[in-house]
Amino acid sequence: MGVVTKEVKSMSQEEILAFEQSGEVTIATHLLKLSDIKVIRDFKRPDGLTEKEIDAAGDGDVLVILDLRLDNSLIEAAVAREVVNRIQKLRKRVALEPTDLVEVYFESLDEKSTLQDILNSQENYIKDAVGSPFLPSTMMPQNSVVLGEESFHGIYDFSFAIYLARPALVFESAAILTLYEGNKQFARGLEIYMLSRDHSNLKLEFQKGNGKMTVDCIENQPSVDVVLGQHVFLAVGDYFSRTKTH
Protein backbone atom coordinates (compact mmCIF):
# COMPACT_ATOMS: atom_id res chain seq x y z
CA MET A 1 0.00 0.00 0.00
CA GLY A 2 3.05 2.26 0.19
CA VAL A 3 2.80 2.96 -3.53
CA VAL A 4 -0.91 3.80 -3.24
CA THR A 5 -0.31 6.13 -0.29
CA LYS A 6 2.44 7.93 -2.17
CA GLU A 7 0.27 8.36 -5.26
CA VAL A 8 -2.68 9.62 -3.21
CA LYS A 9 -0.54 12.25 -1.49
CA SER A 10 0.84 13.43 -4.83
CA MET A 11 -2.60 13.93 -6.42
CA SER A 12 -3.03 17.34 -8.04
CA GLN A 13 -5.88 19.70 -7.23
CA GLU A 14 -7.57 18.82 -10.52
CA GLU A 15 -7.33 15.10 -9.74
CA ILE A 16 -8.77 15.63 -6.25
CA LEU A 17 -11.70 17.61 -7.64
CA ALA A 18 -12.35 14.92 -10.25
CA PHE A 19 -12.23 12.25 -7.51
CA GLU A 20 -14.75 14.17 -5.37
CA GLN A 21 -17.09 14.55 -8.33
CA SER A 22 -16.92 10.93 -9.52
CA GLY A 23 -16.66 9.39 -6.05
CA GLU A 24 -13.86 7.01 -7.00
CA VAL A 25 -10.36 6.83 -8.43
CA THR A 26 -8.08 4.00 -9.57
CA ILE A 27 -4.51 4.10 -8.27
CA ALA A 28 -2.02 1.28 -8.92
CA THR A 29 -4.90 -1.03 -9.94
CA HIS A 30 -6.72 -0.30 -6.67
CA LEU A 31 -10.21 1.23 -6.92
CA LEU A 32 -10.55 3.75 -4.12
CA LYS A 33 -13.81 5.38 -3.08
CA LEU A 34 -14.70 8.43 -0.97
CA SER A 35 -14.76 6.23 2.13
CA ASP A 36 -11.14 5.24 1.47
CA ILE A 37 -9.62 8.72 1.05
CA LYS A 38 -10.27 11.69 3.32
CA VAL A 39 -9.69 15.06 1.67
CA ILE A 40 -8.53 17.61 4.25
CA ARG A 41 -8.50 21.25 3.23
CA ASP A 42 -5.82 23.48 4.64
CA PHE A 43 -4.86 27.08 4.00
CA LYS A 44 -1.48 28.46 3.07
CA ARG A 45 -1.30 32.22 3.49
CA PRO A 46 0.19 34.00 0.46
CA ASP A 47 3.68 35.38 0.93
CA GLY A 48 3.79 38.94 2.19
CA LEU A 49 0.37 38.85 3.88
CA THR A 50 -0.31 38.65 7.62
CA GLU A 51 -3.20 37.07 9.50
CA LYS A 52 -4.64 40.56 9.97
CA GLU A 53 -4.93 40.85 6.20
CA ILE A 54 -6.11 37.37 5.24
CA ASP A 55 -7.07 34.43 7.41
CA ALA A 56 -8.91 31.13 7.23
CA ALA A 57 -10.72 28.66 9.43
CA GLY A 58 -12.28 25.27 8.86
CA ASP A 59 -12.90 21.76 10.11
CA GLY A 60 -10.99 19.92 7.40
CA ASP A 61 -14.04 19.39 5.23
CA VAL A 62 -15.01 23.04 4.82
CA LEU A 63 -12.54 25.91 4.67
CA VAL A 64 -13.58 29.56 4.91
CA ILE A 65 -11.07 32.15 3.72
CA LEU A 66 -11.48 35.74 4.90
CA ASP A 67 -9.93 38.69 3.09
CA LEU A 68 -9.65 41.26 5.89
CA ARG A 69 -8.08 44.00 3.81
CA LEU A 70 -10.09 47.20 3.48
CA ASP A 71 -10.75 48.34 -0.06
CA ASN A 72 -12.01 51.74 -1.15
CA SER A 73 -15.66 50.69 -1.29
CA LEU A 74 -15.59 49.46 2.32
CA ILE A 75 -13.90 52.65 3.51
CA GLU A 76 -16.39 54.83 1.63
CA ALA A 77 -19.34 52.92 3.10
CA ALA A 78 -17.88 53.25 6.61
CA VAL A 79 -17.37 57.00 6.22
CA ALA A 80 -20.94 57.42 4.93
CA ARG A 81 -22.32 55.51 7.93
CA GLU A 82 -20.37 57.77 10.30
CA VAL A 83 -21.68 60.89 8.56
CA VAL A 84 -25.28 59.65 8.74
CA ASN A 85 -24.78 58.82 12.42
CA ARG A 86 -23.58 62.37 13.11
CA ILE A 87 -26.56 63.83 11.23
CA GLN A 88 -29.05 61.75 13.23
CA LYS A 89 -27.42 62.75 16.52
CA LEU A 90 -27.51 66.42 15.51
CA ARG A 91 -31.21 66.12 14.63
CA LYS A 92 -31.83 64.69 18.09
CA ARG A 93 -29.77 67.41 19.78
CA VAL A 94 -31.86 70.19 18.21
CA ALA A 95 -35.07 68.34 19.18
CA LEU A 96 -36.29 67.55 15.67
CA GLU A 97 -39.03 64.98 15.22
CA PRO A 98 -38.53 62.15 12.67
CA THR A 99 -41.20 63.77 10.48
CA ASP A 100 -39.60 67.24 10.54
CA LEU A 101 -38.24 68.11 7.10
CA VAL A 102 -34.85 69.80 7.04
CA GLU A 103 -32.10 70.29 4.52
CA VAL A 104 -28.67 68.93 5.36
CA TYR A 105 -25.56 70.85 4.30
CA PHE A 106 -21.96 69.72 4.41
CA GLU A 107 -18.68 71.64 4.54
CA SER A 108 -15.22 70.09 4.45
CA LEU A 109 -12.83 71.66 6.98
CA ASP A 110 -9.73 70.11 5.40
CA GLU A 111 -7.62 72.09 2.93
CA LYS A 112 -7.34 69.13 0.59
CA SER A 113 -9.76 66.28 1.02
CA THR A 114 -11.32 63.40 -0.88
CA LEU A 115 -14.32 63.44 1.45
CA GLN A 116 -16.56 65.15 -1.11
CA ASP A 117 -15.79 62.43 -3.66
CA ILE A 118 -16.55 59.75 -1.07
CA LEU A 119 -19.87 61.36 -0.16
CA ASN A 120 -20.77 61.69 -3.83
CA SER A 121 -20.21 57.96 -4.30
CA GLN A 122 -22.49 57.26 -1.31
CA GLU A 123 -25.12 59.84 -2.30
CA ASN A 124 -28.06 57.44 -2.61
CA TYR A 125 -27.35 55.75 0.73
CA ILE A 126 -27.11 59.08 2.56
CA LYS A 127 -30.25 60.45 0.89
CA ASP A 128 -32.26 57.36 1.82
CA ALA A 129 -30.94 57.42 5.39
CA VAL A 130 -31.57 61.11 6.18
CA GLY A 131 -34.52 61.74 3.87
CA SER A 132 -32.98 64.50 1.77
CA PRO A 133 -29.97 65.12 -0.48
CA PHE A 134 -26.65 65.90 1.19
CA LEU A 135 -25.92 69.41 -0.06
CA PRO A 136 -22.66 71.37 -0.28
CA SER A 137 -22.73 74.36 2.06
CA THR A 138 -22.03 76.68 -0.88
CA MET A 139 -25.63 76.06 -1.99
CA MET A 140 -27.16 77.34 1.25
CA PRO A 141 -29.28 80.45 0.47
CA GLN A 142 -28.73 83.62 2.47
CA ASN A 143 -32.30 83.41 3.74
CA SER A 144 -31.83 79.90 5.16
CA VAL A 145 -32.82 79.37 8.79
CA VAL A 146 -30.13 77.17 10.36
CA LEU A 147 -31.55 74.99 13.14
CA GLY A 148 -28.31 73.38 14.21
CA GLU A 149 -24.69 72.96 13.23
CA GLU A 150 -21.72 71.01 14.47
CA SER A 151 -18.10 70.45 13.48
CA PHE A 152 -16.43 67.04 13.59
CA HIS A 153 -12.74 66.16 13.57
CA GLY A 154 -10.82 62.94 13.16
CA ILE A 155 -13.62 60.95 11.51
CA TYR A 156 -11.51 58.57 9.42
CA ASP A 157 -8.96 61.41 9.36
CA PHE A 158 -11.55 63.82 7.93
CA SER A 159 -12.84 67.06 9.44
CA PHE A 160 -16.17 68.53 8.39
CA ALA A 161 -19.17 70.56 9.50
CA ILE A 162 -22.85 69.70 9.17
CA TYR A 163 -25.70 72.22 9.08
CA LEU A 164 -29.41 71.50 9.46
CA ALA A 165 -31.67 74.17 7.96
CA ARG A 166 -35.33 74.65 7.20
CA PRO A 167 -36.27 74.10 3.53
CA ALA A 168 -35.66 77.33 1.59
CA LEU A 169 -37.04 78.59 -1.71
CA VAL A 170 -34.81 78.68 -4.77
CA PHE A 171 -35.79 80.96 -7.64
CA GLU A 172 -35.06 80.59 -11.33
CA SER A 173 -34.46 84.31 -11.76
CA ALA A 174 -34.20 84.21 -15.56
CA ALA A 175 -37.53 82.38 -15.86
CA ILE A 176 -39.23 84.80 -13.45
CA LEU A 177 -37.84 87.75 -15.38
CA THR A 178 -39.41 86.32 -18.52
CA LEU A 179 -42.80 86.28 -16.77
CA TYR A 180 -42.61 90.07 -16.54
CA GLU A 181 -41.04 90.65 -19.96
CA GLY A 182 -37.73 91.65 -18.42
CA ASN A 183 -39.04 93.96 -15.68
CA LYS A 184 -36.53 93.40 -12.85
CA GLN A 185 -38.60 95.34 -10.31
CA PHE A 186 -41.62 93.10 -10.86
CA ALA A 187 -39.44 89.98 -10.76
CA ARG A 188 -37.90 91.05 -7.46
CA GLY A 189 -41.36 91.89 -6.12
CA LEU A 190 -42.55 88.36 -6.83
CA GLU A 191 -39.54 86.83 -5.07
CA ILE A 192 -40.06 89.04 -2.00
CA TYR A 193 -43.75 88.12 -1.91
CA MET A 194 -43.06 84.38 -2.08
CA LEU A 195 -40.35 84.61 0.58
CA SER A 196 -42.88 86.29 2.87
CA ARG A 197 -45.29 83.36 2.57
CA ASP A 198 -45.44 80.50 5.05
CA HIS A 199 -43.56 77.61 3.48
CA SER A 200 -46.17 74.98 4.39
CA ASN A 201 -49.03 77.06 3.00
CA LEU A 202 -47.08 77.76 -0.16
CA LYS A 203 -46.46 74.05 -0.64
CA LEU A 204 -50.15 73.31 -0.08
CA GLU A 205 -51.20 75.94 -2.62
CA PHE A 206 -48.92 74.44 -5.27
CA GLN A 207 -50.34 70.99 -4.51
CA LYS A 208 -53.89 72.24 -4.96
CA GLY A 209 -52.94 73.85 -8.26
CA ASN A 210 -51.11 70.74 -9.55
CA GLY A 211 -47.77 72.51 -9.41
CA LYS A 212 -49.02 75.94 -10.45
CA MET A 213 -50.26 79.00 -8.58
CA THR A 214 -51.57 82.35 -9.76
CA VAL A 215 -50.09 85.43 -8.10
CA ASP A 216 -52.39 88.41 -8.60
CA CYS A 217 -52.18 90.13 -5.23
CA ILE A 218 -49.00 92.19 -5.60
CA GLU A 219 -49.90 95.85 -5.83
CA ASN A 220 -49.19 97.51 -9.18
CA GLN A 221 -47.93 94.24 -10.72
CA PRO A 222 -49.63 92.13 -13.39
CA SER A 223 -51.02 88.69 -12.56
CA VAL A 224 -48.70 85.77 -13.38
CA ASP A 225 -48.81 81.98 -13.18
CA VAL A 226 -45.87 80.60 -11.22
CA VAL A 227 -44.91 77.01 -12.05
CA LEU A 228 -43.16 74.82 -9.50
CA GLY A 229 -39.89 73.47 -10.86
CA GLN A 230 -39.81 76.11 -13.58
CA HIS A 231 -39.92 79.42 -11.75
CA VAL A 232 -39.36 78.32 -8.17
CA PHE A 233 -38.32 75.28 -6.11
CA LEU A 234 -39.61 74.70 -2.59
CA ALA A 235 -36.27 73.35 -1.37
CA VAL A 236 -32.62 73.53 -2.31
CA GLY A 237 -32.62 69.73 -2.44
CA ASP A 238 -35.31 69.80 -5.14
CA TYR A 239 -33.28 72.28 -7.17
CA PHE A 240 -30.10 70.27 -6.65
CA SER A 241 -31.76 67.03 -7.79
CA ARG A 242 -33.28 68.74 -10.83
CA THR A 243 -30.02 70.31 -11.97
CA LYS A 244 -28.16 66.99 -11.63
CA THR A 245 -30.51 65.35 -14.12
CA HIS A 246 -30.06 68.10 -16.73
Residue 81 — φ and ψ, nearest 5°?
A: -65, -40
Average of per-residue pLDDT across 114-135: 88
Residues in a beta bridge with 5: none
Q: How far is CA 106 from CA 86, 162, 196, in A?
A: 12, 5, 27
Task: Name, in order, each residue with C-beta under 8 angstroms of 214's C-beta and a sequence gap of 6 or more.
Answer: 223, 224, 225, 226
173 DSSP 8-state letter:
H
Average of per-residue pLDDT across 46-51: 72
Residue with the bigger pLDDT between 132 and 232: it is 232
Average of per-residue pLDDT across 161-168: 95
Of all residues in the chain, what percent are helix, strand and coil, respectively (each to 5)? 40, 25, 35
- The alpha-carbon radius of gyration of the chain (Å, integer) is 32
Task: Name, in order, each residue with C-beta under 8 angstroms of 1's C-beta and a sequence gap of 6 or more.
Answer: none
- How many residues make up the chain in this entry? 246
pLDDT tens digit string along 63-107? 677 776 667 788 888 889 999 999 999 999 999 998 888 999 999
Chain CA centroid to CA 56, Å: 32
